[in-house]
Amino acid sequence: QDRYAYEPVFLQAVQEVLQSLQAVLDRNPQYERNKILERIVEPERTISFRVQWVDDSGQVQVNKGFRVQYNSAIGPYKGGLRFHPSVNQGILKFLGFEQIFKNSLTGLAIGGGKGGADFDPKGKSDMEIMRFCQAFMNELFHHIGATIDVPAGDIGVGGREVGYLYGQYKRITRSYEGVLTGKNLLFGGSLARTEATGYGAVYFAQSMLDARGKSLEDRTCVVSGAGNVAIYCCEKLYQVGAKPVTVSDSRGMIHDAEGIKVDVLKQVKEVERESLSRYAELVPSAVYTPVSSYPEGRNAVWSVPCFAAFPCATQNELNLEDAKTLLANGCHCVAEGANMPSTLDAMHAFLDAGICYGPAKAANAGGVATSQLEMAQNASMQSWTFEAVDNKLRQIMNNIYINAAETAAEYGAPGNLVVGANIAGFRKVANAMIAQGV
């Protein structure tokens, strides 16, 4: 604990997993004999590098870049790149650690990794974004490859950034290979990858509710975030007959009792790259609340009464008070689109209340699963239809739910998908590590 006190979110992620593993450790002494816990919490390798680039005014800029290659026991390292000023090694270790178990849970052959830079894309011109991505790849290319490590997007890294990163990789290596996922459809991208994480979170919520004879139809839902995951979560909610009434960004939130207008949201966030206050200018029924007016220490999104909540912005955006408010307002279901959006005590409040609670590792695995489908299409030089990919995604999310639910029951914690997801993800990786020797 003391050794990693400067990496609090990493400690939080490890604590959440370790709390779940006692039963599987008790039944399997080989894990302790092989020091699996000591090994699995340590990345196989962390690469840290300087990113130097020139801004539009001719000034030299310097950022820190990272790639954490966490675990390759079951496949090449796989996990997104985050560009955000808050990025540091501890945040990428938390994300990479989570990624190991998430990727294992998908049932696909992918190891865990994560990377990024403390670069702030906000307010940068398109050419600055391009030069930064190229400078980042000038170093990263040494460490990645289609069968070694295959990065994707995350906060601040979408289709545009993946395109610039891919172009530079190709220029340097003269190799046209599936080294990144989330690519443009013109050069090896997969249909439905853009939608996959948000759609997947809704499919996961459906699986959880279905098992209890409930559904999302005609239900009011709240969503946080306004980026890739949140937008396609809202889109899928409409498709299954539900109504999303909120979205948020780092500056404020929108509450639209008539339902979020997904086309306007896409225009504001994907095209104009503007703040949500712009959405309120375009949609008369929308009420905009800036962060400065949120209840103290709280996120205003979680005060809006709902049947189901989809946190899709960032880590620790939903605390114990938020969880209590959601529960008091009758929330039946929480499916996490973001990584570790609930604090540990909020997570326990949901588990104690016995609602349908889909932890991030399980509920947002649709993105990485579809990335693996993109890798499969690249390797076989095929392109599958949107429907084919979407059907596989729905199937994968349901399989993850079944795997987590059955494992939870097997280990004496029926209904606890945190325990189920952690143990199911861990077992496969731990067994592969043992089989591969030290």
List interacting residues with ligand NDP (CB under 6 A).
153-156, 158, 197, 225-230, 249-251, 312-314, 337-339, 364, 367
Rounded CA separation 106/104 (Å): 5
Residue with tokens 């680039």, as numbered in its chain? 53
User: With respect to ligand NDP, which residue has the nearer C-beta, 83 or 141?
Assistant: 83
**377, 389 in Cβ contact below 8 A?**
no
Q: Which is nearer to ligand NDP, 11 or 254 (CB)?
A: 254
Q: Which of 35, 64, 93, 114 is catalytic?
A: 114
Does an H or E element contain 169, and which?
helix 159-173
Whichever of 27 and 251 has its CB closer to ligand NDP, that residue is: 251
114 is an active site residue:
yes
- 197 annotated ligand-binding residue: yes
Among 142, 200, 26, 161, which residue's Cα sits nearest to residue 80? Answer: 161
Is residue 102 a known part of a binding site? Answer: yes
Query: Minimum distance from CB of 158 to ligand NDP (Å)?
Result: 6
371 labelled binding-site residue: yes
Is 228 one of the annotated binding-site residues? yes
For the CA atoms of 97, 100, 102, 105, what is the dihedral angle to 10 degrees?
-150
CB atoms within 10 A of CB 150: 26
CB nearer to ligand NDP: pick between 75 and 341:
341
* Contact (Cβ atoms closer than 8 angstroms) between residue 225 and residue 247: yes
Q: How far apart are CB 436 and ligand NDP at their closest, in Å?
A: 27
Structure tokens at 255: 């509450």
Nearest to 419 by CA among 359, 333, 367: 359
Q: How far is the CB of 122 from ligand NDP (least distance, A)?
A: 7
Q: Using CA atoms of 113, 119, 125, 129 in order, give the dihedral in degrees to the nearest 10.
A: -30
Instruction: Note the residue count of the chain.
Output: 438
Ligand-binding annotation for 269, yes or no, is no
Q: How far is the CB of 251 from ligand NDP (least distance, A)?
A: 6
Binding-site residues, in ranges, read: 78, 99, 102, 153, 197, 228, 371
Give binding residues for NAD(+) as ranges: 197, 228
Binding residues for substrate: 78, 99, 102, 153, 371
- Active site (catalytic) residues: 114
